[in-house]
Structure formats: C-alpha cells, structure tokens
Structure 1
C-alpha cells in the first residue's frame, strides 16, 4: 500500500513540474526557438569538414609466439586485443609526422583555428576483435584521403619497430634474471656442501618420554604459581594505589583467598587463613557497633556517657582491625615474593631440561630449508630459460594487417551536422530555460509551503486573509464593519473566528503574534476583535505591543494610559479601558512604555488582571509584539488560553514560522493565519496545499477584487 502511495505522489510531483513548464510556455517557447535559430546560423558560418574512411583487418600471427606464458597472460586480460593498435593509430607519435607532411602539401589547413585534421579508429560492430574502421576528417577532401593512406603505411612501420623493441627489452630482462639465478644456484650448492662437511650429520636421539612428562609438570606448577602471583599482586597494588578503598579491596582479597584455599587450587599457611577469618569477625563486630551507635544517637546526645562508651569500644575494635589488616598484608606481600621465586625456579629447571632435547633438530630443519630453496631456484631458472628460447625464435611481426575496404570519400560533408546541432541547441535552450523558470518558481513557492510545519507540529491554518488596500485601514480602521458580510474578507475573518473559538474551547484569552514587524498581526487582531463583536458577545481588544503600540494609531482619540500604567499604579481597571470603540467592543491601550515591562507582566497583578478580564468579557483579543524580537510575548503566551501566529504571504518563510513556534509554548498555539494573500499567489500556493485540505486559494479565481 505504501509503495502505491509513493508512486502516486511521484506522479503528482512530476505532473506539477510539467504544469509549471506549460504555464510559462509563453516564455520557454520563444527562447527555445531562438536557441534553435542561433545554432542554425552558427552552423552555417562554420567551414565544412569532409571524411575519408577505410576498413582494415588486424589479426595475430599464430606461427609467432613470444612465449606460452606471455600469451596466456595476454589472453587473460579483459580488454579488446585491438586496443593497443587503436592507441597506435590515434597516438601523436604516429600522427604528428603525417600531419607535418600534409600541412606542407596543403598549407591553407594551418589557417583554421579549429583542428584541421582529426582521426578516429572504431572497432566494427560484430567483429570488434579483428576489424577496424579508420576515419579521417578534414576541411580539404584530398587532404583527408591522402592522410588516411599515409597513416596506414606509417602504422605498419611503427608496429614492426614497436614489436622489435618489445622483444629486445624482454630478452634483456630475462637474460639478466637468468644470470642472477645461476649465481644464486651456485652459491646455494656451495653452502649445502660446506654445511654437510661442518656438521657430519651426527644427530642425537631425543630425550625419553619421562623427561617430556616431567617438563610438563614443571610448566603446570609454574602456571599455578603465576596464577596465584597475578591474583595477589594486582590486588595488593590496588590496595596501595587506592587507600581510600581499603575495606572494599581487602574484602575482595580475603574472599578470593578463602574461596581458592577451599577449592584447593593453592594452599595458604593455616595462620594466615586464621587471621583472615578473625579479621572478618572483627569487621562484622565493627559494623554492629557502628549500627548500635547510630541507633543510640537518635536517643542520646553524642556527649552522653553511654555514647562515649560506644565510641571507645568502636575505637578499640578499629585499632584491632587495622592491626589484622597490616599483619595479613605483610604476610601476603611475603607470599607474593615467594611465589615469584618458585615460578622462576620451575621455569629455569624446565628450560635446562628442554635445552638438552634434540640438540641437532635445528640442524636438520636448517638443512631441509636449504635443499628446498635450491630446488625452487633451479625450477625458476628452467622457466626463465624456456622464455628466452621462445622469444629468441621471434624474427617476424606478431600481427598481420590488410586493407579490407579501400580508402574512399563521403559524398557529403560530415560536419557541422546542421539539423542535429540545431535540434541540440533547441533542446538545450528549452532545458536551460525550463530549469531557470522551475528554480525561480519553486524558490518563490517555497515561501508558501508550510506543509512540513503543519505535519511536524500538528498545527492548522486558521484562515487565509486576502490583500486589501492599506488606504482603507488608514481612513477607517473599522472599515470591516462597512463591508458586505458576504465578502471574501469578512468570510476569511469568520473562518479565523470559528477556528480560534474551537481551539480555545472554554478559554477566553487569545493572543496574536508574528515573527517580525510588518506581518499584519495588529490589523488581524483588530479585525478579529471586530468580527467577534458582530455576535452578542462582549469583546475586549488589548494593545500589548508595548514598544511600538501600533494599535494606538487606530484609536487616536483614546488616552495613552493603559495596561502598563494599571500594572504599576493603584487605579481601577475601568479607568484605563476605552468603552464601546465599536458595538460590543472595548479597548485597553498599551500605556506608557516602561523599562521593566517583562517584570510587570510576570507579576501577580497581571495574573489577577487575567482573572478579572475573563469574568468581565466573553473574549479578550491581545495584540502583542513579535515573539522572536522581545520576550514579552513569550510570557503573555504562557498566561493566555491560545496564541494565533500571523505570517505574511510571500514574506514569512517556513523556517521563520518554525523559529516562532519553538519560541512559544506549543500547547498554547491555536494555529497560523496567512495574511496579505494576493491573486498572484494562487499559482504558488494552490498546488502546494491541495493535498492538505486547507483551501488556501479557494474561490480566488471567481473574484476580480480581493476583498
């Protein structure tokens, strides 16, 4: 099912690209035509090239073999046997002298800036291992034909010279190798004779089976001592290195010694075992006294006689415990030294006996190695000698070459291919123009694509607000009341109101914020308040953009005192609220700007104000500052019931919206509103969001006006 879904999505994406190209075909088509026309005229301006061609057959002379080994190596390579001949025919070593001859005869060819002569060697399809087509292109027909004939003649001479050079080089290497092997064989034979003379091949028998068994027992005892040594030595080293962990490490040592002594892997002195047992008993007694002290401490003070008595008892038992530890530690250190000495003694005795074993065994092994080395040298020399004989018999060419099809000229020019180049120019122009248009289109469309944000953060688009003239707002900030209630703009704000009310559920405080200034949060908070006031509910519009207070421009007659003044003074709230700026709508100004705005918002009085506003109004709409610029909006979002994020169409990017979401408490975000949506934006947004069902561009084609 998921595979089918992926295929459908890929098909939709492909159709989307095609749709964009078709939409801008009025630009792409003329550019494509211009590209084809331009390449056509360029082809007409270029000088024509003519081609001479010939077919030759090249095959190996089976009567001549360099050597079986070399030929086998050649056949094992995974490439065309004619590859070397193609390299020779196309190489500068062969073609440069031929070019010089042709240029002397046809000097006008040197005036061309483009390469005047070109050679191409192609294996014939179906006979790639024996037949080659040789093609020569030139601006002069006669020069092309003459060049082709001359190059084949010179090729045969070059091939013979190369073959002779290869044979001589191979012989020189093989002769040097043969001489070196002779010297090594003679030296090996002399060494063998001397070795036999010096040692007389008198080899003694090995020791008895009893000696072998005894050595095994010595090694086993040495291993036991080594095990015990490693065990005790490491623990004693840790005891000195970490004195603060003495009790833990010493307890490990005691447990290890006790368990090993019981299993019989190694035996300790009875006195040491007894000391360890006594230490464990003292340790238990010490822990019991400490526990008793802690219990009594709950009942008596530390200076109480009974507590001092317990302390004295604890000090005595601690001194005894330290004495036992020191005594055991000294015994173990002595034990470690003894173990090391015994282990070394066992190993020394075993080595002494083993040294007397088979004194002549190394001599036998050495002689066998010398014989094997001599045999390998003789075999290698025979192989090299056979190669020398095979190569020395090579006196003629290794290959036969003959002309299958005589050199001829093509009837028409082969370059430039006007139709092909014009078609390529047309396709290239079409591709470049399409890529540029797609890049520009999707760069712009990316600003309208909030689908990943919606899926990632599970937030919705509450409404799409169409563009309307700014002059309308300046002349009459409440102009929304004068519009037809069936207009696109009023329907958009009704959609915002419905989605916001459903989002806050039983809540009443709704805050508007944005990523930055100019996104339209003030306009949308005002129009949202007006839209809510159309019902019979009582609405309060609060200006909480304390640093700019743009909402104040919509109510120039309102007093400047407001929310901040209320938070820092002791007046009643009603003295700051402007009543009935519109039907069912009151207004609370921002007040005078204050350095400690954040502290005032975080105060208890702000919490009390929120409670009062919920009691007195059905909905409170707050216009706040951009949340990414100041921290005021973040604090307000924490105490409100819901937050609406305003993004400006074509300006606010998905990355900026994501930064805004991360800045605010996610559980308070109701969704986002796309502001200032234009008819021109439909082509960027409609396809982007068709699969998500928000209807960004719904019905815009039916409206000549946007509001």
Structure 2
C-alpha cells in the first residue's frame, strides 16, 4: 500500500488520497472472455437446434413415417408400397417389373386382403380409397387387381370414381362406356367390361360422367349391379373417390366387404387422415387396414437375393448347378479316398 498524499480540490478543499494497491498491466484480457463466450455460444446453438427440431416436429402436419401413422390409428399396415422408379413406363409395376420389391408388396397386399376377406360375409370385394386426392389410390387399385389375377383368379376392377375417373386412362383403355352405361341399362356387363390382355382381369371404367354420382351410388340399381359383380367374379376391386371431399366411399361401403385406406408418406396430412377415419367411424364403418405408399425404393441385401430380374435368376440357377456339381465331385473323391 502506498503512502498518503494530499491534494487540493477546485475550491481549495484539502483531499487526502491513499494508494490502496499499485496499478499494473494485466497479463490477460479482462474482456471478452473467449472461453466463456465460446461455451455460451455452443450451448445456445445446441438449444436453438433442439428447439428448431421440436418446433418442426410439432408444426409438421404430414405423415413422415409408420410411427406417425401408428400414433393416429392402430389399424394394421397391410402393405408398404415403394416408390416406382419410372412412373411413365412402370406404373403397372406388377406387370412391367414383376420381380421387384415394389411388385412383391402388392402381392403381400393381395394375400393380406384374402385373409381379411374370410370375415366379410362372402362379398369378396374391397374399395380402395384415401383421405385426399393424389395419394396413389388408383395405381394401388390397378396393381392390386393385377396381383389378384396372377393366379388365375377372376378379378373385376371397377372405377367407381365418377367425379375424376382415371383407371381407363392409366391402363390405356376405352373409358366412354362403363359403370354409368350399366346403370342406365344401355349395355350388359359382358359388353362393357374390358379384358386386360391375356389375363383373368376385367376392367370396368367409370363411363360418362353423371351429374349426380352420389345418387347413382346410393341407388338400388347399383346394389343389384354389385350383386352381379360378386356372383360373376372371384374378387372385385373398387377404385373409390377420396373420403374427405365427398361422401361416396360411405355409400360404396354397403356394396363391398371392406375398405383399404392408402396413405402416402410425406404427403398425407395427419389432420386430413384423422378427419377421414372419424367420418367413417361416425357411420360405423371400420377400415380394414392401411397401404403405406411412397416408401424409398431401396431394399435390404436379404430381399435382394429373392427379387431379381429373370436373367439374374437364370444366372443364379446356373451358378447353383455348377456349385452343386463341384461339391458332388469333391464328395465323390473324398469317398473314393476313404
């Protein structure tokens, strides 16, 4: 501590000043504290990142995973449909790429629906719908019908979306005559049902668009037609309109044995799906299950061994035969040596 000294203020007042400690140059900067600032910035960045993730999670209105779907409904997922690599040439993937995972999932869907059909009082028919347009219900209907017909089952695919029909266009068929033609009794089922190539699948387009689709679906004539469909075919697949925009699926329900709901990943809204399920539950309609659509088109190595192109399968069989002959020779030489 330094000694005291005296100084005079501006008015001549005597001021005693005592040095408490001598001033010195600091060895490190007092401010900014770089280490502390970096730590605070790191914590703030982590907190902001976590906050953004949580905010995105709570504000995200789309179904992004099967877990999101399970949180809305505990109904079974009957198939996990993969994205089609080239929709222009492979929209009918069961036929154009039959050895792919995408095609195999439609066969899985076929099998699951056949098990469910046991409990549908022998109607042997399902309508395929979705909460909103654009979720893949029509392509699901077509490929499901193709998969159903693979084993020689007599299948009828009915385009019952008389507001925005698209089955005939997607399959390259004549769409001016069809379901509405039958309802107006201007032709017979044999006249308007179109056989799909050399298969046991017949396709019934929607026909001319009527001004009153709901009334036609609710008519006794429609019920009589569906009785004819189920008696003439082993299985009937109905491409129905989406649930939320119109009430047609509710009206179609009395004509079929069950409902398949198509849900598209990253597109179907959680609120829209919840609304659709509630609309059906309000009138005591239970959905048979979901077809989860739009999964990434990538499979595990395990499945890759089973789903290959025909040429690859032939090569695999050749390799197996060569391996078998080689093993047989080695076994024979070992036996002879013994």
Give the TM-score normalised by structure 2. Answer: 0.73
Query: Which digits, 9 at most, give the CA deviation of each residue in 1:61-89, with x for residues without a partner?
Result: xxxxxxxxxxxxxxxxxxxxxxxxxxxxx
Query: Which digits, 9 at most, give the CA deviation of each residue in 1:413-439, with x for residues without a partner?
Result: 533222211222233234324543564
Instruction: Give the Å deviation of 1:579.
Output: 2.5
Residue in 2 aligned with 1:669? 287
1:637 maps to 2:253:
yes
1:501 maps to 2:118:
no
Secondary structure of 1:613's counterpart equals: helix
Residue in 2 aligned with 1:491? 104
2:125–2:258 contact (8 Å) kept in structure 1: yes
1:450–1:654 contact (8 Å) kept in structure 2: no
Residue in 1 aligned with 2:300? 699
Query: Which digits, 9 at most, give the CA deviation of each residue in 1:439-493, with x for residues without a partner?
Result: 44776696225547646644111111111121224xxx544223243x2112211
Query: Which digits, 9 at most, give the CA deviation of each residue in 1:161-216, with x for residues without a partner?
Result: xxxxxxxxxxxxxxxxxxxxxxxxxxxxxxxxxxxxxxxxxxxxxxxxxxxxxxxx
The 1:490–1:557 alpha-carbon spacing in structure 2 relative to 1, beyond 3 Å, is closer
Relative to its length, the structure with more helix (as a share) is 1
Question: What is the distance in 1 between the residues matched to 2:243 and 2:61?
Answer: 25
Residue in 1 aligned with 2:192? 576
1:448–1:650 contact (8 Å) kept in structure 2: yes
Residue in 2 aligned with 1:480? 94
Residue in 2 aligned with 1:620? 236
2:79 counterpart (460, 463, 479): 463
Secondary structure of 2:63's counterpart equals: helix
Question: What is the distance in 2 between the residues matched to 1:701 and 1:615?
Answer: 41
Q: Larger deviation: 537-546 or 603-612?
A: 603-612
2:136–2:293 contact (8 Å) kept in structure 1: yes
Alignment of 1:18-417 (within 5 A): 411-412=26-27, 413-417=29-33
Residue in 2 aligned with 1:678? 296
2:145–2:155 contact (8 Å) kept in structure 1: yes
Query: Which digits, 9 at most, give the CA deviation of each residue in 1:261-307, with x for residues without a partner?
Result: xxxxxxxxxxxxxxxxxxxxxxxxxxxxxxxxxxxxxxxxxxxxxxx
Residue in 1 aligned with 2:63? 447
Instruction: Give the Å deviation of 1:538.
Output: 0.6
The 1:700–1:526 alpha-carbon spacing in structure 2 relative to 1, beyond 3 Å, is farther
Residue in 2 aligned with 1:215? none
Secondary structure of 1:626's counterpart equals: coil
1:638–1:668 contact (8 Å) kept in structure 2: no
1:600 maps to 2:216:
yes
The 1:582–1:444 alpha-carbon spacing in structure 2 relative to 1, beyond 3 Å, is farther
**CA RMSD after TM alignment:** 3.2
Instruction: Give the Å deviation of 1:556.
Output: 3.3
Secondary structure of 1:500's counterpart equals: helix
Which stretches in structure 1 are left out of the alignment for 5+ residues? 1-100, 102-145, 151-405, 680-696
Secondary structure of 1:507's counterpart equals: coil
Residue in 2 aligned with 1:534? 150
Residue in 2 aligned with 1:514? 130
Question: What is the distance in 2 between the residues matched to 1:463 and 1:484?
Answer: 16
Query: Which digits, 9 at most, give the CA deviation of each residue in 1:599-624, with x for residues without a partner?
Result: 11111111111211111111101111
1:449–1:654 contact (8 Å) kept in structure 2: no
Larger radius of gyration: 1
The 1:445–1:455 alpha-carbon spacing in structure 2 relative to 1, beyond 3 Å, is closer
Give aligned pairs, total: 283
1:581–1:587 contact (8 Å) kept in structure 2: no
Secondary structure of 2:261's counterpart equals: strand
The 1:432–1:456 alpha-carbon spacing in structure 2 relative to 1, beyond 3 Å, is closer
1:600–1:606 contact (8 Å) kept in structure 2: yes
Question: What is the distance in 2 between the residues matched to 1:478 and 1:435?
Answer: 44
Instruction: Give the Å deviation of 1:574.
Output: 1.8
The 1:659–1:416 alpha-carbon spacing in structure 2 relative to 1, beyond 3 Å, is same
Residue in 2 aligned with 1:157? none
Which of 1 and 2 has higher RCO (CA within 8 Å, sep 6+)?
A: 2
Instruction: Give the Å deviation of 1:642.
Output: 0.6
1:549–1:590 contact (8 Å) kept in structure 2: yes
Give the TM-score normalised by structure 1. Answer: 0.37
Which stretches in structure 2 are left out of the alignment for 5+ residues? 1-8, 10-16, 310-338
Question: What is the distance in 2 between the residues matched to 1:414 and 1:559?
Answer: 83
2:72–2:270 contact (8 Å) kept in structure 1: no
Instruction: Give the Å deviation of 1:698.
Output: 7.0
Residue in 2 aligned with 1:591? 207
